[in-house]
Structure 1
């Protein structure tokens, strides 16, 4: 039966994309030569941890890993969901796992409520704050009713020791709704959250002042909250950071963030003012790229567009990130599904001011993915 033909890959890249699409399509995958040339070959601890998490979310999944860890066979079971608890690997932030959890959440059999523990903020993965500020709004657009969707940070945990805790709830839907997101609007306000964990609260104010100093030259409506955690809710490592989000007149959210170098790393100690400014400039760059979805979460929009009913979905995106381009290729591998990509003409205003990056309009016909919570043979 072609339905169960194994899709083969090589190497460790894009493991999360492959696992997500394998789980949704029901097609088993085999990945060989995982870091086979490295001094330390095979799957890393955080990847094994991710596969365990998928095992918890599904029922009847078959996983085989070779002795050296350089080859993996993954045959997905049914997405079950329900109430779950997972201790994430400290080498990656909770954001690394959230990408998979959020992509699969709406397609579970039972509404998902998952508590993830570990590092909430590090320098290499999107933080939990950026998921709250710009990934949740993307998912909301596809869910017909968004009651029951939410994410909450109950404890902060900075790298390297973590100790953070996040609760994510996602309702289940029989099917998503197709979208037309073509108007990115203008920036109307900027919000942000500054967190300082196990360090002086004065650091928060210094970051706020530095970031606001950049934005107040452009826009009056800037408000940055401080989120100071103490005692047991502040995780195990000291650190500080800032997540900023710009909201447009049409309800589009762009986010950017910066955080201090982790304790115990060889990097020099971070200066709060520099972290505040760095995040502010990154957000300005994100606004310049534009599009109706933040560049970090373009692949979410592509996934949910492909999974929506058999109707046309259209979305304006900023320049596609390499990660998104690979995701579109993977969608073709698993679902035989392709997108139409067109470059978007700049508005007269953008032409005049010579601003705005080259945007892309992605269009696709949904595959009409139904969450029947059972496999149709």
Structure 2
């Protein structure tokens, strides 16, 4: 029995997505038990079973077994197929909950991804589709994934009813490029998107003004695009949000965002996003908190070469991610504190996408 077919076991509902994705990439079957077993409503939630359905669509030959009570899931991964697909994400979680893991799988698929997802485009729980488009996808280019790479937001959808739609395109590659990114540079500009649907168009301008009132003291080069959606493209619920990205002289991208919650004004959202961005900048590093996981994963999958990245504070999510990477791929990172930040180093496993023929 080879190492790859050995079943890995986990407990609990936390980190469910990442474990299913790591299982898919490593080809290792995984069993997750005690999913909310002590809850008054035990088992997997609607959005988690919806994510499993999407995983079934993008792969070929995967088997998923959910126990009668829903508290245990056995997943035996197949190959990543990709292709032209559509999926309704529902309204329990935002589109990003489903899209982020697909960004990790897409480069290793058999056919280039052309994935249409429908649902909520920005909420107060998950990263927004804007941050995926402006921060996560540009980072794929460091690893040599450049062709056909785009995320189009065709309709906005605020909670609770959603009605948004995005189209994600990504080419497949045979192998990644190794990355060493340790020079964080200095922040040179801030870009952002203030969007609103089914509320006064002034709302977007008010968010921009209040964010600027704080950020202008820090840096002069700020451009925040206002994105006002009307009619059929504005989804089914009123909503507004602001996402901000600080770019450094070396190409580091640090992001923060805030979606309006009940009772919040445009000024609240603008100020909070600006404060969150300044906090993210103060942590330092070449990669922001929201995209630590993707870089750590791709460095493990890179050619058998040394990969290095400078990160600010590690989030609890990232710390668990490092443990899971070791469980699935047997790779441990060396972590060295360097001033306020830390440098994480690993040797890639030389992952090859055998679905893609060499050209």
Q: TM-score, normalised by structure 1?
A: 0.93
- Corresponding residue for residue 265 of structure 2: 271
- 1:369 paired residue among 348, 351, 354: 351
Matches of 1:360 and 1:197, distance apart in 2: 40
Equivalent positions of 1:154-165 (< 5 A) are: 154-165=154-165
SS in 2 for 1:69: coil
- Corresponding residue for residue 294 of structure 1: 288
- Whether 1:82 and 2:83 are equivalent positions in the alignment is yes
The ranges of structure 1 where at least 4 consecutive aligned residues each deviate by more than 2 angstroms after the TM superposition are: none
- Corresponding residue for residue 260 of structure 1: 260
Matches of 2:190 and 2:37, distance apart in 1: 46
* Pairwise CA distance, 1:94: 0.8
* Pairwise CA distance, 1:315: 0.4
RMSD: 1.0
- Corresponding residue for residue 205 of structure 1: 205
* Pairwise CA distance, 1:373: 1.9
- Whether 1:24 and 2:21 are equivalent positions in the alignment is no
SS in 1 for 2:268: helix
- Corresponding residue for residue 48 of structure 1: 49
Matches of 2:152 and 2:292, distance apart in 1: 22
- Corresponding residue for residue 170 of structure 1: 170
- Corresponding residue for residue 323 of structure 2: 329
Matches of 1:227 and 1:244, distance apart in 2: 13
Q: Which moved more, 1:212-221 or 1:296-305?
A: 212-221
SS in 1 for 2:115: strand
- Whether 1:240 and 2:222 are equivalent positions in the alignment is no
- Whether 1:230 and 2:230 are equivalent positions in the alignment is yes
* Pairwise CA distance, 1:216: 1.1
- Corresponding residue for residue 335 of structure 2: 341
- Corresponding residue for residue 58 of structure 2: 57
* Pairwise CA distance, 1:89: 2.5
* Pairwise CA distance, 1:142: 0.7
- Whether 1:120 and 2:129 are equivalent positions in the alignment is no
Superposed CA deviations along residues 305-358 of structure 1, whole A, max 9, x for unmatched, are 00000000100011111111111100110111111110013xxxxxxxxxxxx2
* Pairwise CA distance, 1:271: 1.0
SS in 2 for 1:120: coil
* Pairwise CA distance, 1:99: 1.5
- Corresponding residue for residue 250 of structure 1: 250
- Corresponding residue for residue 73 of structure 2: 72
Matches of 1:122 and 1:187, distance apart in 2: 27
Superposed CA deviations along residues 187-211 of structure 1, whole A, max 9, x for unmatched, are 1111111011100011111111101
Matches of 2:330 and 2:119, distance apart in 1: 36
Matches of 1:317 and 1:328, distance apart in 2: 13
Matches of 1:321 and 1:64, distance apart in 2: 31
Superposed CA deviations along residues 85-106 of structure 1, whole A, max 9, x for unmatched, are 1100211111111121001111
Structure 1: unaligned runs, 5 residues or longer? 262-266, 346-357
